[in-house]
Chain A
Amino acid sequence: QKEVEQNSGPLSVPEGAIASLNCTYSDRVSQSFFWYRQYSGKSPELIMSIYSNGDKEDGRFTAQLNKASQYVSLLIRDSQPSDSATYLCAVGDSGGYQKVTFGTGTKLQVIP
């Protein structure tokens, strides 16, 4: 069974700080990785995708991927109270069937 592990949190950070969210995965041959944000009572929303080792930046968000360590992370710079949500890590199925496996999510709380 392919697994995606995340710390459930809550992760509390003060406003303006960097929030660091981490995820490990079990499938060594996975090639596609995603971060979704889910506000309470809402549906998951795709915020980042990453396919190559290294960093990918989009505004205040940076996704980091290390395939050798089977590790993917999301950094949120200058955290805002509006960033308070649950962040889901998702890993694409290596079999090519467009499935992804979701982690259970990390709840982030940004304290004003």
Chain B
Amino acid sequence: DARVTQTPRHKVTEMGQEVTMRCQPILGHNTVFWYRQTMMQGLELLAYFRNRAPLDDSGMPKDRFSAEMPDATLATLKIQPSEPRDSAVYFCASVPGVGFYEQYFGPGTRLTVT
């Protein structure tokens, strides 16, 4: 059963702490997206990678957020330092290949920054 996996599923941290979220795309999917979802803003695209190379990270606050894909089976999203306004659900999604648009979402990481 091919699924996108994300860890941790829940994270509570204090303001100023570093947060790292991990995503394992479906095996063979070469494009990975990071989204943030809040009640107010809906789904916001933060960054995405194709074949591990960043294609667009314009949705991400550069001063505190960073995204990487060190290998084909792992994408990471890091927040340093975290702030209460970063509290949201962070989703990772993967796409089968070039020309495909259908995105398959992971279960998300629910982040609470106090």
Question: A44-B43, A104-B42 are known contacts. Are A98 and B98 too (CB-CB below 8 A)?
Answer: yes
The contact size tier of chain B is 20 to 34
- Nearest B residue to A46 via CB reads B102
Are B91 and A49 closer than 8 Å at their CB atoms?
no
Closest Cβ of chain B to A44, distance in Å, is 5
Which of B43, B50, B103, B108 touches A46 (beta carbons < 8 Å)?
B103
- A42-74 to B contact mask, C-beta < 8 Å, 1/0: 111110010000000000000000000000000
Are A32 and B101 closer than 8 Å at their CB atoms?
yes
B14 touches A (CB below 8 Å): no
Are A43 and B56 closer than 8 Å at their CB atoms?
no
B82 touches A (CB below 8 Å): no
Within 8 A of A (CB), among B99-114: 99-108
B27 touches A (CB below 8 Å): no
Closest Cβ of chain A to B4, distance in Å, is 9
A25 touches B (CB below 8 Å): no
Which residues from A are CB-within-8-Å of B50? 98
B53 touches A (CB below 8 Å): no
Q: What are 15 pairs between A and B in contact, CB < 8 Å?
A: A43-B91, A43-B107, A44-B103, A44-B105, A45-B105, A88-B43, A90-B103, A97-B55, A97-B56, A98-B48, A98-B95, A98-B98, A98-B100, A99-B33, A99-B45
